[in-house]
Amino acid sequence: MKVKDVKYKLSDLELRYLSLFLGTNEPVIVGLNTFQGINVSSIFSKGLLQQIGEKLSLNMFKPKIIDGCTLMYNKTEHALDFLKSNLSVEEIKELKRQGGVASVRKAMGEMGLLKFFKALSKAYVLTVRSKEGDKDIKMSSEIRDAERPIVIISTGQNDLMREVQANPFAIRKDYKRRAKDPSFNISAKLVQSVDVSKIVDKVGKIQDYVHHINPNAIVVVLSSYKPKSLEGKNLEEHEAFKPFGEMIDEFNERLEESAKEKGSFFVSTDVFEEKEMGVIAGLRANLSGHSALSDKILYAIYNGLEVEDKLANNKDRELITVEEKPNFPPSGIYSLLVSLSGEKYDRRCDNIKIKNDPNASPEAKKVAEVSEQESQMAHDTCDKAAQNLELKKRMQPQKKR
């Protein structure tokens, strides 16, 4: 059955019921996303989280949205680090700014357009502005204190890309240049030995941690989007790209099994297969795509939790209680920086061993080199963000006693 033949949309009354079910205070919606595959945040239009929030804004309280999506911290372990560090919205936005600037610099350098870097990076920074009160909104604390927070997890895509050292959205370009550039041939060898279960386990740890913080949290795990580029333009390309598509299929199958085992909702992103809901440039979902996916997520939650039945039978306040809520140390961005320092050191040691190993394959050496660059960039941008926040704190006027 095609997506357009299925009605996922809830009525206004059902959305009102769902909003009431989420809690007597303002609902909390958190996005943990590694940016690639499904972009849950959007710079120039309402992204997935904003769409969900708007549809749940039918009662007295508007939902509180925490978007944990950044350009530089785009691996599954980083999403877990964000939770464990209990980052504030102010800290997340600073990481977004620094990560965006670093990513723009990298992209402009690869295209030989560094002269445009300054203007583009300034434009990006202006789109991510901090607001008053952002420093007091902490991600994990909000999840812990809400009655039934919605936590949307869309991670793992960048981990898959790291495993094969390829971007599936740009794979045709690598394939065409394979005679001069070995990148595609290296990726084609790497894809044969990818263990997707390792990445699924990492996503599982995020779900476990969220349920540890709040056993009443509604966790939604999104599938990885399978780009049309993997279909190829002809039979030769189709056969060459087939292993990459199979890797994503296997990842999604294992991810769905894991989500069900952990009591989370698994929602497929196949709504993006509809032409009118397509993904811009093969990567970013357009407004219609975000709206359709938000409908599908809310429909899954409403029906999966039998919201209407529980409200009718006064069972909506039946929450799992814990003897003592978890406490979080005053960690924040500095805790994340320490974590990244350890990760960077460990990876550097491992990568040096591989680089100096005469028996290491070219594929292994390529992975080691890129891995080292990634960990260095993540560490440096976090360090810059921490410095900026410290400077900002020092510049704030001291309150008179």
pLDDT in tens, 283-327: 556 677 788 889 999 999 999 988 878 777 777 767 777 767 777
CB 65 within 8 Å of CB 353 = no
User: Residues near 301 by Cβ (< 8 Å), separated by ≥ 6?
Assistant: 18, 150, 218, 220, 265, 307
CA-CA-CA-CA dihedral for 37, 41, 45, 47, to nearest 10: 80
Q: What is the mean pLDDT of residues 238-243?
A: 89
Residue 394 pLDDT: 63
Q: Which runs of consecutive H residues, i.e. helices, occur in 68-182?
A: 76-85, 89-110, 117-127, 139-145, 157-164, 171-176
Handedness of CA 40, 41, 47, 52 (dihedral sign): positive
CB 221 within 8 Å of CB 264 = yes
CA-closest candidate to residue 157, choices 296, 238, 271, 40: 40
Q: What is the pTM of this model?
A: 0.85
Residue 29 pLDDT grade (very low, low, confident, very high; cuts 50, 70, 90): very high
Residue 374 reports pLDDT greater than 50: yes
Residue 5 pLDDT grade (very low, low, confident, very high; cuts 50, 70, 90): very low
Task: Give residue for tokens 């290491």.
Answer: 360
Q: What is the mean pLDDT of residues 145-163?
A: 88
Measured between alpha carbons, how far is 371 from 354 in angstroms, rounded to an integer? Answer: 12
Residue 364 reports pLDDT greater than 80: no
Residue 41 pLDDT grade (very low, low, confident, very high; cuts 50, 70, 90): low
Average pLDDT, rounded, for the chain: 80
Residue 274 pLDDT: 59
Beta-strand pair 279-280/284-285? antiparallel
Measured between alpha carbons, how far is 125 from 129 in angstroms, rounded to an integer? Answer: 7
